[in-house]
Structure 1
Amino acid sequence: MSKKKSAITGFAIGTVVTAAATLLSTPKAGKEVRQDLKKGMDKVKTSISNVKKEGILLKDRISFAKKEQKEAMEEVAADTVIEEMPKEKK
């Protein structure tokens, strides 16, 4: 989790620094710059939302795969126990 938080923090700091540098060095009017920044932030929010949704889907798929693996292992173990039981004599 710490790597994830570190990456998000780095991304946020980089975004702020880039925005500040753009504001200080742009030949555009303030209104145009604000519009561009708003569009950029909307894209970032959309991207973050998509990544979050994909992460949730991935987590669900991993949970499902673990459940399937556990069930398969239990079936194999049960089959192995049955095969290894001594046969009754008649």
Structure 2
Amino acid sequence: MSKQKSMVVGFALGTVVTAAATLLSTPKAGKEVRKDLKVNMDKMKSTFSSIKRDGIQLRAKIRFANKEKEEALQETAASTIEETPEEMEQEIK
């Protein structure tokens, strides 16, 4: 499993364990706990949606940057191949 996936799985597992521990040790009544859970679940869903959206945007930016890098390398290689040995010697001097 990649580091990113294991990090997300660890975060989710930690969230579930923390929620369970909180439920078992809370002094609140059942209705209050359910209300708080609903609010927190809504916040968590919103947070995960935001993280997912940001991840998708980041992946698109990385792909775009990699494509630009490849094009720049190809252009550099093509221009280097087109240079004559005399031009290369002049650049070195």
TM-score range (shorter-chain normalised) is: 0.7 to 0.9
The 1-side partners of 2:19 and 2:2 are apart by 26
Within the alignment, does 1:25 sit opposite 2:20 as a pair? no
Tell me how far 1:44 sits from its aligned partner.
1.1
- Name the counterpart of 2:83: 83
Q: Partners of 1:9 and 1:83 in 2: how far apart? A: 52
Cα distance, 1:49–1:21 mapped onto 2, change above 3 Å: same
User: Cα RMSD between the aligned structures?
Assistant: 1.9
Pairwise CA distance, 1:70: 0.8
Q: In the aligned structure 1, how far is the partner of 2:2 from the partner of 2:69?
A: 29
Aligned length: 86
- Aligned-partner Cα distance in 1 for 2:66–2:13: 37
How big is the shift at 1:41? 1.1
1:47-86 correspondence to structure 2 within 5 Å:
47-84=47-84
Corresponding residue of 1:10: 10
TM-score, normalised on structure 1?
0.78
Query: 1:76/1:12 Cα in 2 relative to 1: closer, same or farther (>3 Å)?
Result: closer
Structure 2: runs of 5+ lacking an equivalent: 87-93
Q: Which residue of structure 1 lines up, in the alignment, with residue 89 of structure 2?
A: none
**1:10–1:81 Cα change, 3 Å:** closer
TM-score normalised over the length of structure 2: 0.76
Give the whole-Å Cα distance in 1 for the aligned partners of 2:12 and 2:81.
55
> CA shift at 1:79, angstroms?
1.0
Query: Cα distance 1:12–1:81, how it changes in 2: closer, same or farther (>3 A)?
Result: closer
Question: Displacement, 1:23?
Answer: 2.3
Select the structure with the greater relative contact order (CA < 8 A; seq sep ≥ 6): 1
C-alpha distance in 2, partners of 1:2/1:73? Answer: 28
